[in-house]
Structure 1
Amino acid sequence: MAKVIINDREETYEDGIRLVDIAAIHQDEYKDDIVLAKYKGSLTELHKVINGVGTLEFLTTADKDGRRAYRRSVVFLLQRALMDVYPLPDNPYLRVEHSLGQGDFCTIEGVGDITEDKLQELKSVMLDLVEQDIPLKKYSIKTTQAKEMFHSFNMKDKEQLLKYRTSSNINVYDLDGCIDYFYGYMVPSTKYLRYFDLLKFENGFMLMFPNGDKLVGDTRKVAEFTNPIKLFSVQQASSEFGRTMGVPTVGALNEAIATGRIKDIVLSQEAIMERNIGDLARTIASNHDVKFVMMAGPSSSGKTTFSHKLSAHLRALGCVPHPVPLDDFYLNRDQMPIDEYGEKDFESIEGLDISYFNECMVKLLKGERVLLPNFNFKTGKREYNDHYMQLGPNDILVIEGIHGLNDRMSASLPAESKYKIYLSALTQLSIDEHNPLSTADGRLIRRIVRDSRTRATSAAETIAMWDSVRRGEEKYIFPFQEHADYLFNTALIYEMAVLKLYVDPQLYAIEPDHPMYAEAKRLIKLLDYFLPMSPDVIPNNSLVREFIGGSCIL
């Protein structure tokens, strides 16, 4: 008999029972749909057959791993529906370009401009496939066989990626004759995939998902599309840059590393980023009303290096920039607001002395001499250490903090005196045609490397706090990104290949019995698709040096 321990209760089943059958028994105990499981401490799909004794935990679409499985499975459902809507010999080529809000921006090559009618037809076919409850079958094949198969399917990105796989076998999925290779777990069958939408957008369409956040989301309701056109424009420009450089995918990056082209790619991208910062500085310097450059962005966007680079360019144009961290305007620690978990909320805008910040900035704008505070993070109190400031005709304050774009933060300042910049690391790479590389994963890997080097924080500790960091971003940063005057992408097309060298040892150090092991294993598998590259070719003023060390700026 198989024995499983669920929520400290022992249950007995016949050997050979599938997890999906046990999940069906327990589904009523969960608010959201069960789609994955952790069995004996390892993440696994529900089709797994179990024997013996082991602990069992079910994951739903409200859990991040369940949400990932749901979304990639809906993409697979879309691929299968395309076979009916565009039967051979049309041979459409689906490309999932990048995430955008709670959806994926997609294009279909080879069929012209996709119409609203075609999208509705696609959605109808997808819903029909859901009702048929078709299993997503998983099986292992030789990697060489997979490369030949994807070559015949004209999936060139997958074929190129598998060229650099060292494993002799890979797992592929089959959905009613549609075969593909995915980079993570899938749901058992199409009946789990009821909640999605297709919306016409720009030169393609949005595949929309539910917002599965445990606190504010409804996993059985598709999220609204907020049309973040500024963010979309930056992402499109980044993707176009990747194509121009001949490195739109991980496989193409590996090819560049293997053939010795990577140095030229590194130097070209560094030059382009420097040029873009220079153009931005000229825009700011040419507007003499601007006295406050307000910057914000999610964790590990490279805000520190960027602010130094921007300041250098402003100085070269005759401006006198002064950094002002919003953190210096924190309330004393004993005055901090409390979050929904009963912890001090250092992410909330209510933790900042908004009125005092506005008072100081208005006085500076009037030409008055002001004593600015410094926040002592050891004592948890604001201090005043002769940090006086008075703005001259060429002075500009470069103000950085997570609430920099929130109008509440600078409500007393005239709009014309402010220039708002949103920073984020929006990766240009896709893993392949159906799997964009997660921007959040890129930032997490950056942070693991930096925190280990500068704060003696282990990878496990950084991963453990990441969900809290992400919640703060969703509440306090992302809603204001479209308010920015300029969105700047700090991602470097080559960075994952060099970060791999620094982060892999830290991830491997996390033991299998550690709560963060499953996430570490997922990141290891992701990084396994990248060939490593030496940091020797990276200039010492590169933004990536903020994370790996060796910066001449910081």
Structure 2
Amino acid sequence: MACSTYLGLTIRTPKTGDFCRWWNRRLPLQVLAWELQSEHPAPIVAVRVNNVLEDLEFVPSRDCQVEMVDMSSEIGLRVYAKSLTFILMRAAKELFPDQQLEIQFSLNKGFYGEMLGDQTLTPEMVDRLRERMWDIVRAAEPIERRVVKPEEAIRLLTEADRMGQAKILRYRKQDLVNIYSCGEFIDFSDEILVPHTGLITTYQLVHHVSGFLLRFPDQSDPFRIPDNVEQKKLSFIFRESDKWSKIVKVSDVCDLNRYIETEETGELIRIAEALHEKKIAQIADQIAAEPEKHRLILIAGPSSSGKTTFAQRLKIQLRVNGMNPVTLSTDDYFFPRTETPHDEFGKPDYESIHAVDCDLINKHLSQLIQGEDVEIPYYNFHTGEREYRGKYLTIDLNQPIIIEGIHGLNEKLTQAVDRSNKFKIYVSALVELNLNPMNHIKTTDARCIRRIVRDFQFRSHSPQRTLEMWPSVRRGEGRWIFPFQEEADVMFNSALVYELAVLSRYAIPLLQQVNSDEEVYGEAQRLLTLLDYFLPVNHDEIPNNSILREFIGGSCFFKEH
């Protein structure tokens, strides 16, 4: 955290997490960042002032609490990635003024994008972009921020021939917009950017498929691009979703809002839900084509992906195919709470595969597949103990076992069963929707909003608690889910193109409850800004078997709904 002489700034020291008092002149916090950089493990890219994210040029006008944000944090990495994208978009505007790049989705520790329209991005064009970006970075050109009203932002962007960027702002209900400029280039961003291009030195731009892949460091090593890991299956499912979005003419939030304005949302909901049903039926058909082979069906994915509803709908489709599946819950195989491993912060780590008694679940799976009668345990979350309540299970050849949980794709969980007898499914809400070409909506943000709504309604968790837990959830996903996603036989995208317009009605009042003195206040405000662009949609036309019902209520699969 930072301070000024004539001002009292309370600063968090990065090594201990304690707060100390600093006095300094009224100067941009960039000055303090230079002084404190040696105490940080990664480059400082922004600051938090009274729990609100600000750029390094911010000048405090009163006593406040300040924290330096570096790239070892998720927030810092987000600032870096958005600033890098801004530089790419400037380079593209200068080199190809009649074309428009679009960031489409996150992939391989970076962003995948293409040229809008019929223009194909060639390897030579990517080489030119890379060279121009490096020129801009070496020049350490200032990135200047202006905070203006939406009407003024629309005027500035239109004058700069950025009409595609400006159109979303007519839906903006909040009073102020960040307009950033660098050289002759301007754009708007709801994220904070770095104060000059010279801070963005570690990145990689390569030609990929029919577009580009823009890669940057991760939190664990902010000075190095991570090793390249092919994600062909994930890339395919994203590109398939993008193609479907274009078919229904909903490529961005403006398109969705036009559906809502013309009261055609009901048809869009029915089309989106029909696509889900078709995909689930196709997966069931694949499994049923070789029933003697697929004895174990494993469903995994990150938090709030709708895995539970997906599993229930798949079960129904399998029964349509003449199969009679049974389910096992990995939760019932948790070790007693006293044996739960702890994370690096000394807290119980329920996300770890070492919290699950893999030996016992493997033993039971082997016995079941061999036709033996097995007593299935029950995990009592109130007492933290495993119990046996006389629940026995026996299966025959027509009864595949469905296991749904975060570790489903990890071979350690089911190593006693031959891989050829498993059918692995990866489920995630892979949002294929942009605010505009530069500002794509992150899948993690959509899942976080789902979880805030669900946890409040059905788990009695405040939005503050959900936001406080989210970084730990994300760390668990990075360790125990994402490394195994390409092991899946199929991937299912549980996102619904209309869902944020529905979730906004529930999430906005909850996020507004987060007070400015709470550490997650800035994150709540960021999500509120995202939801601010969506016109609301009533939930009445959403079917009761929809994955979205798992989060808003009214599901036919859950008693509490």
TM-score range, shorter chain: over 0.9
Task: Check whether the contact 1:160–1:252 (CA below 8 A) recurs between aligned residues.
Answer: no
CA distance, structure 1, for counterparts of residue 550 and residue 515 of structure 2? 28
Equivalent AA in structure 1 for residue 10 of structure 2: I
Contact 1:155 1:433 in 2 (8 A): no
- Counterpart check, 1:65 vs 2:75: yes
* Equivalent in 49, 57, 75 of residue 59 of structure 2: 49
| Structural mapping, 1:113-152, within 5 Å | 113-151=120-158
The answer for the alignment partner of 1:349 in structure 2 is 353
Instruction: Determine if the alignment matches structure 1 residue 11 to structure 2 residue 18.
Output: no
Unmatched 5+ residue regions in structure 2? 1-5, 13-18
State the SS of the aligned residue for 2:271.
Answer: helix
Q: Counterpart in 2 of 1:198?
A: 205
Corresponding position of 1:243 = 246
Letter in 2 for 1:70: Y
Structure 1 equivalent of residue 113 of structure 2: 106
Q: Distance in 1 between matches of 2:150 and 2:61?
A: 29
Using the alignment, how far apart are the partners of 1:51 and 1:152 within structure 2? 33
2:393 counterpart of 1:384: no
Give 1:115 deviation, angstroms: 3.7
TM (normalized to structure 1)? 0.95
Alignment-derived partner of residue 523 in structure 1: 527
Residue type matched to 1:241 in 2? Answer: W
Amino acid at match of 1:6: I
Residue 172 of structure 2: SS of its match in structure 1? coil
Is 2:263 the counterpart of 1:260? yes
Q: Which position in structure 1 is the counterpart of 2:517?
A: 513
Whole-Å separation in 1 of the counterparts to 2:147 and 2:352: 47
CA distance in 1, matches of 2:175, 2:339: 58
- Preserved CA contact (<8 Å) 1:241 1:428: no
Aligned length: 546
Query: How many angstroms does 1:114 deviate by?
Result: 3.3
CA offsets, 1:279-300, max 9 Å, x none? 1111111112111101111000
Alignment check: 8 A CA contact 2:46 2:55 kept: yes
Equivalent residue letter for 2:88: L
Superposed, which structure 2 residues align to 1:141-540 within 5 Å? 141-151=148-158, 155=162, 157-167=164-174, 170-212=177-219, 217-288=220-291, 289-540=293-544
Kept in 1: contact 2:93–2:100 (CA 8 A):
no
Which digits, 9 at most, give the CA deviation of each residue in 1:371-404, with x for residues without a partner?
A: 2212111121222222211112311111111111
Higher mean displacement: 175-184 or 20-29:
20-29
- The percent identity for this pair of structures is 35
**1: CA distance between counterparts of 2:380 and 2:299?**
22
Q: Shift of the alpha carbon at 1:159?
A: 3.3
- TM-score by length of structure 2 reads 0.94
* Distance in 2, Cα, partners of 1:511 & 1:320: 50
Matched residue SS, 1:502: helix
The answer to whether residue 546 in structure 2 is matched with residue 542 in structure 1 is yes
2-structure distance, mates of 1:461, 1:9 = 26
Distance 2:247 2:121 in 1: 25
Q: Distance between the aligned counterparts of 1:162 and 1:107, measured in 2? A: 23
> Which residue number corresponds to residue 29 of structure 1?
39
Determine the C-alpha separation between the residues in 2 that align with 1:76 and 1:332.
49
Q: Aligned-pair distance for 1:166?
A: 3.4
Distance (Å, rounded) in 1 between the aligned partners of 2:94 and 2:547:
46
State the Cα distance separating 1:142 from its structure 2 match. 4.8
- Once the two structures are TM-superposed, the CA of residue 154 in structure 1 deviates from its matched residue by 5.7
Separation of aligned partners in 2, 1:550 and 1:423:
21
Write out per-residue CA displacement over residues 500-545 of structure 1, whole angstroms, 9 at most, x where no aligned residue. Answer: 1111111111111112211111111111111111111211121101
SS in structure 1 opposite 2:447?
helix
- For 1:5, the aligned partner's letter is T
Q: Which one-letter code corresponds to 2:23 in the other structure?
A: T
- Partner SS for 1:430: coil
Deviation at 1:141, TM superposition (A): 4.3
Structure 1 unaligned regions, length at least 5: none
Deviations 1:198-248 (A, max 9, x none): 122111110001012xxxx11111122312010011111111111111111
Q: Distance in 2 between matches of 1:116 and 1:139?
A: 35
Confirm or deny: 8 A CA contact 1:134 1:190 kept in the other structure: yes
**Equivalent-residue separation in structure 2 for 1:225 and 1:157 (angstroms):** 32
Letter in 1 for 2:166: E
